[in-house]
Amino acid sequence: MTDVHMQKLILEIRGGAGGDEAAIFAGDLARMYQRYAASRGWKITVLDTSPGTLGGFKTFISRVEGDGCYDAFQYESGVHRVQRVPETEKAGRVHTSTATVAVLPVVEATQVTVNPSDLEVTFSRAGGPGGQNVNKVETAVRILHKPSGIVVGSREERSQHANRERAMEVLRAKLYELEQTKKFGDITSARREQVGTADRSEKIRTYNFPDDRITDHRFGVKVHNIEEVLNGNFDAILKKIRKSQEK
């Protein structure tokens, strides 16, 4: 008998406006979600990453599985904005950067029809950073879904077959989301923001370091102690969001 509370999702984080600082912020968010998932005993599998020049990630895609994980992360989709003095900033000026987060439920193969002839699959070596631990076998997988233009990939698994399965899982989640949007329209503003442009002005949450304050603009929720939250105390935000919905 399956656990009705066991949930699976695809978590995708991308650096938005702000160059290197946006990638660093995307890395901060990835670490926050990873640490929170670990504290809840959830399984988090990194599927694909593209590192930033000065740290962090241009792209971070993972799969999260565990009791109530979708319930916890469902409000994270959208543009997250950070206001702080980057480590690279010599004059001490506050910069504004963004990262986009998409949370997609994992769907079964039977829920989405994917025609194999619509796929362009390529393989490459899943080399480590700086050329270290370079895999001599072409295990990394990239899949282009030609009708939609969606490109997905997975390089973290050890076999080509496993990476292909993971990449197909991400593709199905994205295609299902597209189908739902076409069928029902943009149900919520959160859905619109999820596929937004990552522009600085298009935001769901602001992490303001000078004031040590996180503001969720949809729920009118504010919490302090940013460093603690980014270190994995994500419940500080979650509890306030849930409380705001009970009113």
Q: Are residues 99 and 161 in the same domain?
A: no
Say which CATH number the domain at 125 has: 3.30.160.20
The residue whose two tokens read 């950070």 is 82
Is the pLDDT score of 212 beyond 90? Answer: yes
Average pLDDT over residues 113-142: 72
Q: Are residues 91 and 154 in the same domain?
A: no
Q: Could you tell me the pTM of the whole model?
A: 0.80
Question: Is residue 144 included in any domain, yes or no?
Answer: yes
Average pLDDT over residues 174-189: 70
Q: Are residues 85 and 204 in the same domain?
A: yes
Q: Are residues 123 and 141 in the same domain?
A: yes
Is the pLDDT score of 119 beyond 80? Answer: yes
Question: Is residue 1 included in any domain, yes or no?
Answer: no
Question: Is residue 19 included in any domain, yes or no?
Answer: yes
* Cα radius of gyration rounded to whole Å, the chain: 18
Of the listed ranges 22-26, 91-95, 110-114, 224-228, the least confidently predicted one is 110-114
More confident residue, 141 or 87: 141
Q: Residue 139: which domain range?
A: 110-184
Classify residue 19 as exposed, middle or buried by CB count within 10 Å of its CB (0-12, 13-18, 19+): middle
b vs e for 162-191, b when ≥16 Cβ sit within 10 Å of the residue's Cβ? ebbebbbbbbbbbbbbeeeeeeeeeeeebb
d(CA 8, CA 63): 7
Task: Report the number of distinct structural domains present in the chain.
Answer: 2
Is the pLDDT score of 139 beyond 60? Answer: yes
More confident residue, 182 or 71: 71
Q: Are residues 116 and 171 in the same domain?
A: yes
Question: Is residue 159 included in any domain, yes or no?
Answer: yes
Residue at which a domain ends, from 149, 184, 219: 184
Say which CATH number the domain at 216 has: 3.30.70.1660
CB within 8 Å of 51: residues ≥ 6 apart: 23, 57, 58, 129
Is the pLDDT score of 237 beyond 50? Answer: yes
Q: Note the pLDDT of residue 27.
A: 96
d(CA 149, CA 135): 28
DSSP state letter for 116: G
Is the pLDDT score of 199 beyond 70? Answer: no
Q: Note the pLDDT of residue 92.
A: 86
